[in-house]
Structure 1
């Protein structure tokens, strides 16, 4: 579990002795292909430059990162925010997820693509054989004037499929972003800032944020571990 947001959430839940499952295999993809979401899937695939409409069903749906009390917990790090993720976020599906701020996520895609570039230009992320097959041969790393990144397109598309299938299976989908903002010590800081160098006050702020988002009871104080 390389995603730092998910690692922090998992560590908190384990510290609280709360039962979770990690890397839960997603359900039957056929349910997604036959669902009312299918027109949206086809539309987004085409908007991303998809070339094999009939081959969408071969694309694997990612595992659910953390499942906790009927919730699929998704941690969005730098790779989650770029121009292709913005295409997926405009699917009507996301407007129907309770508590999911589509506009804030779209804003992150515009503002923080540079963060995605810092970690997303390596081989296998920028492009790979499967992503090139579906979205065309990628341009040179960092070049968006041509076809851009087939790998980023595939990552954004698969994340959308994961969220849709989770919803179909009756899960609540909770997104946590590295760019979410929390008031701590009189300053507005991002989750990314808090979890990279948590002080006592910052840890308390982050944990209170987690408790609120996860529907856990508030406590008077928290101490760093």
Structure 2
């Protein structure tokens, strides 16, 4: 199991311990099926990240991380790890619509505070660029260099996160490994699988849940 997979598995276990049972995940998002205002906003984000407009219809956002059954219906839970926080994610959260997102303030802070550490760790092995990202966002600058294109892979990940942020008709919660739960980083709790934190993690998910209307 990858490090990412281990964290998600630990989160699923803790959510279940907190009373949120696992549910079937919806299919991965398809940009061309997103209606109305949400699609216009997705187009705006893509342009802000300097995406190639001719290829937007080919973009394939990642699958959802987890889905749980709550008393008032299913909730998709995205667990955002360190690679999600940088200037490109901050760009996606700079639009007026982002003010409605309950994770906005924390995520803006994380993008500002953790990019420098990310730039030291995530610049090799397909983390700075890969085979597909340059097609959409341009040829990468040298690893760690943010002049010009910078990191097409980081841009791509930020775009995919924004697509999920904007999907109507679902209930989405975002939590991050940097979130502090009962005085401890969520990352540490996931490593230890400390069930005493199950209730507080559930409350964090509930406080971070948001939905857009379908029209």
TM range (shorter): 0.7 to 0.9
Which residue matches 1:94?
98
**How far 1:152 sits from its partner (Å)?**
0.3
Structure number with greater Rg is 1
CA contact (8 A) 2:21 2:68 kept: yes
CA contact (8 A) 2:140 2:149 kept: yes
Q: Deviations over 1:126-148 (max 9, x none)?
A: 11232111111001111112321
Matched, 1:207 2:198: yes
**How far 1:96 sits from its partner (Å)?**
2.2
Matched, 1:67 2:58: no
**How far 1:2 sits from its partner (Å)?**
4.1
Q: Matched residues in 2 for 1:63 and 1:37: separation?
A: 18
Q: Matched residues in 2 for 1:16 and 1:38: separation?
A: 35
Moved more, 172-181 or 156-165: 156-165
Which residue matches 1:45?
46
Which residue matches 1:179?
178
**How far 1:177 sits from its partner (Å)?**
0.9
Q: Matched residues in 2 for 1:178 and 1:18: separation?
A: 19
Q: Matched residues in 2 for 1:95 and 1:5: separation?
A: 28
Where relative contact order (Cα < 8 A, 6+ residues apart) is larger, the structure is 2
Which residue matches 2:136?
134
